[in-house]
Amino acid sequence: MKDLYKLDLRVLTVREMSAPRRVTWMHIVTFAFATAISYVLGVVSSLIFPVLGAPGVSALYVAAAIYVPLGVWMGAWGALAGYVSCFFLGLYPSGYSVIQSLIWSWADFIEAIVPAAIFRLAKVDPDFTAKRPWAAKLLPLFISMGTALLFIGIVVQVLWGAKYGEPFVTFYVYSVYIGTALALIGIVLGLIAGHAKTWIAHILGIIGASVLSGLWGAGSLTYFNLPPPLPAELFWPVFVGWVLGDLVVLSVIATALLVALTPVFKRTGLYVKGWWA
């Protein structure tokens, strides 16, 4: 069954190169429904796992596990689903104004577009088949913990280490070493889990998405917006909470969904090679 599936893919690739690609109703409807699911999950996550003081920001934003994989599967549609769902989340239940929401929502757009871009620019055809399932299961733990430690270490150094020196510098050094080691183990696990290019692209996507979306998200809530709903002093707590939460959700849940549903998206013809079709 697997061999035949692979054979079909190769035939499809040859045929697809000559057939024009267009946006169909399937793309539109999938996008609309994915946006709706992301919105519902976003509301639930921000109410159950809030980052207190920052409405709409969740310590475990499960909605990201929908639109980020959707970005991998369907390119810009995933990013648009992230944007629109976040916009409505901003209005209810977060209570942000229309303009604040319009600006803030780019965070989720960025979160989905980064992995989508990595896969497309590196021309990686996603294949999440786990040749070594144990490696695929351990990978999220190492990547999320390693990146989290590395991230926290950097934040501590930026905020206090440069200004005050020890003991913050020591903390920074240890977290960088340990975090990097854990992340490297995660990368090795990714290389042996299955299709190496896919897993490495995915790992980079998780890290890039979490950090960059966190920067915009926390920044637009505290530094730049019209106006920022929260004081600038809250940037670092919100930023750290955002990034750590995203790392967990994307490495655990998004990975599970990508493994489970990538074959489905491909065999149903929903998978988008380009950005829109």
**Segment 92 to 121, residues that bind other proteins, using CB under 8 A:** 92-100
- Residue 55 binding other proteins, by CB under 8 A: yes
Measured from the CB atom, the residue of 79 and 187 that comes closer to other proteins is: 79
| Binding segment (CB under 8 A) for other proteins, from list 144-152, 173-181, 208-216, 259-267 | 259-267
* Sole binder of other proteins in the list 42, 54, 142, 245 (CB under 8 A): 54
Q: Is 32 among the residues that bind other proteins (CB under 8 A)?
A: yes
Nearer Cβ to other proteins (14/121): 14
CB 45, CB 60: distance < 8 Å = yes
Binding-site member from 3, 4, 10, 121 for other proteins (CB under 8 A): 4
Please, is 12 exposed, middle or buried when counting C-beta atoms within 10 Å of its C-beta (0-12, 13-18, 19+)?
A: middle
Q: How far is the CB of 230 from other proteins (least distance, A)?
A: 7
Does the footprint of other proteins cover residue 274 (CB under 8 A)? no
Q: Which residues contact 146 (CB under 8 A, 6 or more apart)?
A: 178, 179, 180, 181, 182, 183, 184, 185, 186
Nearer of residues 162 and 188 to other proteins, judged by Cβ: 162
Total residue count of the chain as it appears in this document: 277
199 contributes a contact to other proteins by CB under 8 A = no
Min separation Cβ 52 and other proteins, Å: 5
* Contact by Cβ (8 Å): 96, 104: yes
Instruction: Look at residues 126, 179, 118 and name the one whose alpha carbon lies nearest to residue 153.
Output: 179
Which of residues 92 and 177 has its CB atom nearest to other proteins in the complex?
92
Residue whose CB is less far from other proteins, 122 or 174? 174
Rounded to whole angstroms, the Cα distance separating 84 from 101 reads 10
Q: What is the dihedral of CA 137, 251, 88, 54, to 10 degrees?
A: 120
C-alpha Rg value of the chain to the nearest Å:
19
- Kindly identify the residues of this chain, within the stretch 135-174, that bind other proteins according to CB under 8 A: 160, 163-169
* Residues 172, 169: Cα–Cα separation, whole Å: 5
Pattern 210-249, other proteins, x by CB under 8 A: ----------------xx-xxx-xx--x------------
